[in-house]
Amino acid sequence: MASGDDRFSGLSAAPGLARGADTGGHGAAPVDLLIAAEITGWRKAAREALIARRLAVPADARKRVATEVATELNRLIDFGPKTVVSLYWPFRGELDLRDWMRAAFAKGARVALPVVVAKAQPLIFREWTPEGRLERGVWNIPVPADGARLTPTVVISPLVGYDPGCYRLGYGGGFFDRTLAALSPRPRVIGVGHPMAAIPTIYPQPHDIPMDIIVTGAGQVLERGG
């Protein structure tokens, strides 16, 4: 990814970095150099710009990328009975992987969806089945109404943005990082999204937890440390 990538040209550098802070490559940036409030404001602007671009992607292009991502997920994931895959219900232009979710279930994996239980608390995961009853959760996103609570072995998370260090820019609620920090053993974490979600850095902070793999279609797979 070139510096100044035109997919992200509408946003300037975070103020702390503009003053000379060094993120040390892809690692977390020192808090004393990148002021938390400035990073929060920069991320808010980046998030809004990236979601707008994602929503502008034509439906047929979204479907093509989702199909390509599903092909990579089939290669990356073992669908045995010990596999518990957490997916997501698509929201605001996210890739729609619900057909893949049904296929994973048919192949023998157990499937879960994340559920928000309270602000500033980790997510929980409830089992999803094709016949299971759904109810409206936070932001009116469907969640299993009465599925068993599961601990995922694989977490598939949608991306708003991502950087070369496999750090994920999400919606700003902190649920994802809080959840990963609380899970033991730690699951394999796979981020999925549009190719245009790539940015030079999210300015990662100590609380940010990187993903293991990022998949964005057309055979594009980014592995942490790879």
pLDDT digits (tens, 9 = 90+) for 134-180: 999 888 899 999 999 999 999 999 999 999 999 999 998 888 899 99
Check pLDDT > 60 for residue 181: yes
> What is the structure's pLDDT at 82?
93
Using 50, 70 and 90 to split pLDDT, how confident is the model at 206?
Answer: confident
pLDDT averaged over the chain?
A: 87
Q: Is the pLDDT of residue 77 over 90?
A: yes
| Full domain range(s) for residue 78 | 28-223
The model's pTM: 0.85
Output the pLDDT for position 3: 34
User: For residue 47, is it within any domain?
Assistant: yes
Looking at residue 21, its pLDDT comes to 45
The answer to whether residue 20 is domain-embedded is no
Mean pLDDT of 106-126: 92
Residue 14 has a pLDDT of 56
Q: Which of 58, 42, 28 is nearest to 196 (CA)?
A: 58
pLDDT digits (tens, 9 = 90+) for 21-55: 444 444 554 455 547 788 889 999 999 999 999 99
Is 108 domain-assigned? yes
More confident residue, 131 or 225: 131
Residue 1 covered by a domain = no
Residue 3 lies in a domain: no
9 in a structural domain: no
Residue 92 tokens read as: 């605001």
Q: Is the pLDDT of residue 9 over 60?
A: no
β-strand pairing of 84-86 with 110-115:
parallel
Instruction: Classify residue 194: in a domain, yes or no.
Output: yes
Domain tally, the chain: 1
| Domain harbouring 105, CATH code | 3.40.50.10420
At CB < 8 A and 24+ separation, what contacts does 118-123 make?
A: 119/173, 120/174, 120/178, 121/178, 122/175, 122/178, 122/179, 122/181, 122/182, 122/183, 123/175, 123/176, 123/178, 123/179
